């Protein structure tokens, strides 16, 4: 047995172990890491992959994150809002197509009309997705940024049953200096870092299943930073992770800083997924859509490296092009029906099954409740 095989059998890892695993580049070594993560996923979670149909319902945003294509100062973008009927219709389409779960995502806004609008949509979706094959309706993941704890409570309560509500708020990076570089226009950025952590704590207090995550391969980010991200996820005791490679965005403000080459970046992102599975064990991990920018089968590779969640895009085709957080986002010209069939094939090819009509709650959440 080589030293790497011994390391992969461990149940606890030092920072040095984690950095070593994240930095693997030899194909044989990467394959061993992958295989370990895949097998642990089968052991802790099973062989099912769960869908969250994602509706990107508005690209209006009050923030100016430098990496992001829909940031406030991008004037070359036509802004849109789906109306209530369009959002509910998308959610019902997902439920009728046996997706147990939907995700509402939009640019960040905190005004009362937005908060009330979302609250209303949550109620309507919960009631409108009840059916024979989904007797309790769809579960809902919100991905709507840092909000007050009152807002979180309102949204959680609008969902009714506690178990069905999840919230995804990426930390983006746990390194405060890097965080500030990414969000410099937010003049109170030191506060912004602390307030995002507080928001994550508030989400947990409000009763959500809580997800966080970050970008991988950001300019200036080191393997130690990624290791610190994993430690941060451990400390927060999160239920879900959404992480993806950083991709250059023409609408962003970081064009001069470049990005990693696609090959090494993909490997780094996949290593990160696998190491998160080794360290965090029973959390839900999403195979980010951004993986598919780097390789046509990027999301399948994510599943092969320990991800157990996919987020098919169910945004109406007419507005998809205007929600490009990064360049070359896939599925821009596809209809929701195209993605449904396509992704089911992708999952089967990886030896997994789709968990149709199931909420697919985080095992970690169940264990800690
Ligand atoms: N590359 C990769 N991911 C990005 N996101 C935003 N911009 C980019 C980019 N250029 C991710 C952020 C955000 C999520 C909705 O999309 O992590 O939290
Ligand atoms: Fe959208 Fe394959 S996932 S077309």
Closest-CA residue, ligand 2 atom 3, reads 339
- Euclidean distance between CA atoms 329 and 128, whole angstroms: 30
User: Which whole number is the average pLDDT over 337-341?
Assistant: 89
Boundaries of every domain in the chain: 3-368
How far apart, in whole angstroms, are the C-alpha atoms of residue 23 and residue 270?
A: 11
Which residue has the least CA distance to atom 4 on ligand 2? 339
The Å distance, Cα 300 to ligand 2 centre, comes to: 12
Residue 124: predicted pLDDT: 98
Residue 204 burial (CB count, 10 A):
18
CA-CA distance, 275 to 165, in Å (whole number)? 27
Q: Look at 117-126, 152-161, 188-197 and tell me which has the smallest mean pLDDT.
A: 188-197
For ligand 1, atom 16: residue with the closest CA? 325
What per-residue confidence (pLDDT) applies to 141? 98
Q: Is the pLDDT of residue 187 over 80?
A: no
pLDDT tens column, 258-301: 999 999 999 999 999 999 999 999 999 999 999 999 999 999 99
Q: With 90 as the cut, is the pLDDT of residue 186 above it? A: no
- Ligand 2 atom closest to 331 (CA): 1
The mean pLDDT of 26-49, rounded to a whole number, is 98
Q: Is the pTM of this model over 0.95?
A: yes
pLDDT of residue 184: 80
Q: Is 16 exposed, middle or buried (0-12, 13-18, 19+ CB in 10 A)?
A: exposed
| CATH (residue range 3-368) | 3.20.20.70
Ligand nearest to the CA of 343: 2
Residue 28: pLDDT band (50, 70, 90) is very high
Ligand located closest to 299 CA: 2
- 148, pLDDT greater than 70: yes
ipTM at complex level = 0.95
What pLDDT sits at residue 1?
55
- Dig out the tokens for 351 from the structure: 């030896």
């Amino acid at each position: 047995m080589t030293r790497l095989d011994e390391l992969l059998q461990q149940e606890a890892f030092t920072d040095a172990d984690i950095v070593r695993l994240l930095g693997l580049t030899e194909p044989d070594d990467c394959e061993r890491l992958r295989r370990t993560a895949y097998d642990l996923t089968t052991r802790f979670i099973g062989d099912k992959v769960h869908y969250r149909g994602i509706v990107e319902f508005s690209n209006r945003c009050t923030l100016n994150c430098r990496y992001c294509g829909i940031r406030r100062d991008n004037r070359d973008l036509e802004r849109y809002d789906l109306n209530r009927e369009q959002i509910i219709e998308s959610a019902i389409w997902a439920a009728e197509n046996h997706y147990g779960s939907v995700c509402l995502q939009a640019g960040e806004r905190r005004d009362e009309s937005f908060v009330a609008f979302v609250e209303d949509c949550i109620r309507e979706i919960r009631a409108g997705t009840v059916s024979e094959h989904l007797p309790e309706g769809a579960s809902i993941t919100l991905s709507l940024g840092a909000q007050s704890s009152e807002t979180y409570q309102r949204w959680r309560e609008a969902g009714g049953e506690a178990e069905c509500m999840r919230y995804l708020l990426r930390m983006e990076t746990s390194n405060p200096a890097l965080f500030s570089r990414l969000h410099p226009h937010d003049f109170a950025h030191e506060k912004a870092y602390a307030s995002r952590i507080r928001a994550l704590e508030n989400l947990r207090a409000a009763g959500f299943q809580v997800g966080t995550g970050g970008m991988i391969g950001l300019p200036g980010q080191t393997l130690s930073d990624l290791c610190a991200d994993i430690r941060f996820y451990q400390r927060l005791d999160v239920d879900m992770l959404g992480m993806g490679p950083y991709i250059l965005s023409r609408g962003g403000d970081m064009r001069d800083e470049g990005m990693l080459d696609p090959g090494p970046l993909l490997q780094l992102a996949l290593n990160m997924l696998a190491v998160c599975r080794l360290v965090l064990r029973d959390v839900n991990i999403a195979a980010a859509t951004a993986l598919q920018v780097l390789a046509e089968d990027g999301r399948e590779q994510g599943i092969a490296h320990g991800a157990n969640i996919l987020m098919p895009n169910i945004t109406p085709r007419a507005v998809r092009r205007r929600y490009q957080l990064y360049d070359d986002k896939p599925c821009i010209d596809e209809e929701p029906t195209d993605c449904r069939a396509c992704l089911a094939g992708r999952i089967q090819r990886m030896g997994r099954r789709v968990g149709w009509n199931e909420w697919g709650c985080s095992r970690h959440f169940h264990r800690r409740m």
